[in-house]
């Protein structure tokens, strides 16, 4: 992962961009950097949107988030991720990144947090702390293709966000940044 900031038009910036290793994840905070990467790596990038986190709980409407939880369809159940869920193959098939930044499942259970939605005992949607820092987390959310368009990602992320609010971590502010995967 590379984070770019500063002046993208210097010789050093150009050299850095031309000498990136294969399969690099580059994150930039300005349109200038975005345009520079697109110019240097034209045809070999995939773009993603990212959101930054903020520590201001007033930015979130707790009542609205709680209401989102009540929209869970009857055939599903939501659970906090425990060791059994974290070991389930259906959990890992959704996203290899749910707990990839932790040393082990035990490390995730000790220091991370996450919620999963199950259908017939299988994990079909989940939201976890992809990474953690002093007072917050970065969230990873995924849903199985057969269970998309039902609001499950919104619901499971809402459970995680409410848990974080209760513990004084993870306040979301929708501020786009640019992310590129370069190969």
Is residue 180 in a domain?
no
pLDDT mean over 27-33: 82
Is residue 115 in a domain?
yes
Residue 179 has pLDDT above 90, yes or no: no
The predicted pLDDT at position 170 comes to 56
Q: Are 109 and 86 in contact (CB under 8 A)?
A: yes
| pLDDT band, very low/low/confident/very high, at 56 (cuts 50, 70, 90) | low
Same-domain pairing of 137 and 89: yes
What is the total count of domains within the chain?
2
| pLDDT band, very low/low/confident/very high, at 50 (cuts 50, 70, 90) | low
The pTM of the full predicted model, rounded to 2 decimals, is 0.69
Is residue 155 in a domain?
yes
Tell me the three state secondary structure of residue 108. Answer: helix
Residue 115: CATH number of its domain:
3.40.630.30
The predicted pLDDT at position 52 comes to 61
Same-domain pairing of 105 and 30: no
Q: Which domain holds residue 152?
A: 53-173
19 vs 105 pLDDT, higher one? 105
Same-domain pairing of 167 and 141: yes
Is residue 93 in a domain?
yes
Across the beta sheet with 77-80, what order do the strands follow? Answer: 77-80, 114-119, 122-133, 136-143
From the number of C-beta atoms within 10 Å of its C-beta (0-12, 13-18, 19+), residue 125 rates as buried
Least confident of 32-46, 51-65, 114-128: 51-65
164 vs 83 pLDDT, higher one? 83
Is residue 179 in a domain?
no
Same-domain pairing of 93 and 133: yes
* Residue-wise pLDDT tens digits, 111-140: 999 999 999 999 999 999 988 877 778 888
DSSP of 147-158: G-SSSHHHHHHH
pLDDT mean over 141-156: 94
Same-domain pairing of 73 and 132: yes
**DSSP 8-state secondary structure symbol assigned to residue 21:** P
pLDDT mean over 18-46: 81
């Amino acid at each position: 992962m590379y984070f770019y900031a500063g002046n993208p038009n210097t010789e050093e910036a150009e050299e850095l961009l031309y000498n990136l290793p294969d399969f690099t994840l580059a994150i930039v905070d300005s349109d200038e950097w975005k345009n520079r990467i697109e110019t240097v790596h034209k045809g070999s990038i995939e773009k993603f949107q990212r959101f930054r986190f903020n520590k201001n709980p007033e930015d979130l409407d707790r009542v609205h988030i709680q209401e989102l939880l009540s929209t869970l369809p009857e055939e599903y159940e939501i659970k906090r991720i425990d060791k059994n869920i974290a070991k389930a193959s259906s959990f890992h098939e959704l996203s290899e990144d749910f707990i990839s930044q932790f040393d082990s499942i035990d490390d995730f259970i000790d220091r991370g947090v996450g919620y999963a939605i199950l259908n017939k005992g299988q994990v079909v949607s989940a939201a976890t702390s992809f990474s953690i820092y002093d007072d917050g987390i970065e969230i990873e959310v995924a849903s199985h293709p057969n269970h998309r368009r039902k609001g499950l990602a919104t619901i499971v992320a809402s459970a995680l966000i409410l848990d974080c609010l209760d513990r004084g971590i993870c306040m979301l502010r929708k501020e786009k940044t640019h992310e590129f995967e370069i190969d």
